[in-house]
Amino acid sequence: MAKKKKVRVALKKNRQKRTRANDLTRAYEGDAEHAGPAPAAGPVDAASGERVRAKGDLSRYRTILTDDEDAGGEAGGDASAGAASRRAVDVSTNVRGRVVRVHGLVSIVEADDGGTFPCHVRRLLKNLAIDGRNVVAVGDVVWFRPGGRPGEDGLIEKVEPRGGVINRGYRNRRHVIAANVDTVLVVASMAEPPLKLGLVDRYLVASEIGGVRPVIVLNKADLVDVAPFQWVAGLYTQLGYETVISSAADGRGIDRLRELMARGVTAVSGQSGVGKSSLLNAIQPGLNLKVREVSDWTSKGKHTTTAAELIRIEAGGYVMDTPGLRQFELWGAPPGEIEGHFVEFRPYIPLCRFPDCSHTHESRCAVKDAVHWGQIHLGRYESYRRLFEQRPLDID
């Protein structure tokens, strides 16, 4: 039987401002000429007068019961979220399942027996002081209590620690693009919208941070002459990343993508308008996912997929269709650690003159020398510099 332990977790700050009991300035101006000498303040009055706010007005904490002594968070998470993920739940009244869709405040959970249940999130979980935008994401494994009456929504009581995660930063918060996935298909189009290798590089770094295997998919091969893009496939293949050239129109690469999705959970992600939903419709006819043409005016995607969804496919695995992105900030990697996520940098890093070399301005930098002699691709080096300097990527 698992050991129980009480853990103190932080909740979101209460930002409601306290109202004054009275207007002290007005009272002073109105009574100053009639008032006599002010009495000396006693110890109690002085203490009450010095207090700025009531205890617990902004900072709030809660004691919860966990299943084990290890209350640490997931990789890249925080202690409060980790402790809450190990909350003790009654397995006789709660059911284990996986979140397959999130619509506003309602999460659709598929239980292990195949049934689906609309659920709300327990208030304690929503109030946790975490670094993420939402406490529940598509792909999360959760424990929930089904509704007691027909038509009544269930209640998510616990979120299991996440495995493979693709994160991005959004407005200084962590946005979980995909949770508990084994593989991510980084879809980029060779035309409409044009290829953005800087975005591909950011996905590769985010995949390595989150422990997910990336596969690069160069889509819309039917719209271009593929020959000028062969160097892109060769570049990433030499670095050890599988690269697939695909087209939903003529079926190129579809069989290989179907094989990749046959096992585990596969997320499909990329810029808006690159054809993610069209690829899924070609991989499994009958899904009937909505697709739209790229805007003729802006050559950008129109955000046809507006919410992530986990879909069971006939090949045997799960696929997660995610909304297209127009912004991707890296999350969970300090600038000094980004060098380790560029695989071609690794042989040269120990050869730099300075042990803390940033590979941006220092002299006798082995990485910069490798770029000069063509041993490291200049575009990849520019991607590294943009990430190190925390410059935004103009995807549009």
Same domain membership, residue 256 and residue 211: yes
What is the CA 219 to chain-centroid distance, rounded? 24
Mean pLDDT of the chain: 81
Instruction: Identify the top-confidence range among 153-162, 196-205, 270-279.
Output: 196-205
Q: In this prediction, what percent of the chain has a pLDDT beyond 70?
A: 71
Q: Is residue 25 part of a domain?
A: no
* Residue 332: pLDDT over 50: yes
208 lies in the same domain as 311: yes
For residues 205 and 310, membership in a common domain is answered with yes
Number of domains the chain is built from: 3
Residue pLDDT, tens place only, 99-118? 999 888 899 999 988 899 99
Return the HEC string of the chain: CCCCEEEEEEECCCCCCCCCCCCHHHHHHHHCCCCCCCCCCCHHHHHHHHCCCCCCCCCEEEEEEECCCCCCCCCCCCHHHHHHHCECCCCCCCEEEEEEEEECCEEEEEECCCCEEEEEECHHHHCECCCECCCCCCCCEEEEECCCCCCCCEEEEEECCCCCEEEEEECCEEEEEEECCCEEEEEEECCCCCCCHHHHHHHHHHHHHHCCEEEEEEECHHHCCCHHHHHHHHHHHHCCCEEEECCCCCCCCHHHHHHHCCCCEEEEEEECCCCHHHHHHHHCCCCCCCCCCCCCCCCCCCCCCCCCEEEECCCCCEEEECCCECCCECCCCCHHHHHHHCHHHCCCHHHCCCCCCCCCCCCCCHHHHHHHCCCCCHHHHHHHHHHHCCCCCCCC
Residue 211 belongs to a domain with what CATH number? Answer: 3.40.50.300
Same domain, 314 and 273: yes
Distance CA 340, CA 356 (A): 13
Do 84 and 179 share a structural domain?
no
Tell which of 159, 176, 195 closes a domain: 159
Residue 81: HSE in the Cβ half-sphere, 13 Å Cα cutoff: 19
Looking at the structure, tell me whether residues 316 and 186 fall in a common domain. Answer: yes
Q: What is the pLDDT of residue 124?
A: 78
| pLDDT attached to residue 104 | 81
- Clarify whether residues 229 and 352 are in a common domain: no
Give the residue numbers spanning the domain of 97: 60-159
64 versus 323: which is more confidently predicted? Answer: 323
Instruction: Please indicate, yes or no, whether residues 102 and 236 belong to a single structural domain of this protein.
Output: no
This prediction's pTM: 0.78
Within this chain, do residues 299 and 175 fall inside the same structural domain, yes or no? yes
**pLDDT tens, 255-299?**
999 999 998 999 999 888 898 989 999 999 888 776 655 444 344
pLDDT of 17 strictly over 80: no
Task: State the CATH number of the domain containing residue 360.
Answer: 1.10.40.50
User: Does the residue 112 lie in any domain?
Assistant: yes
- Overall average pLDDT of the 146-159 stretch: 86
* 132 in Cβ contact with 175 (< 8 Å): yes
- Residue 205 above 50 pLDDT? yes
Same-domain check for residues 69 and 122: yes
Instruction: Let me know whether 273 and 191 are in one domain.
Output: yes
128 domain residue, yes or no: yes
The answer to whether residues 179 and 100 belong to one domain is no
pLDDT for the residue 290: 65
pLDDT tens digits along 340-395? 999 999 999 999 999 999 999 999 999 999 999 999 999 999 999 999 998 887 66
- Rounded to an integer, the average pLDDT of 167-174 is 85
The answer to the question of residue 48 being in a domain is no
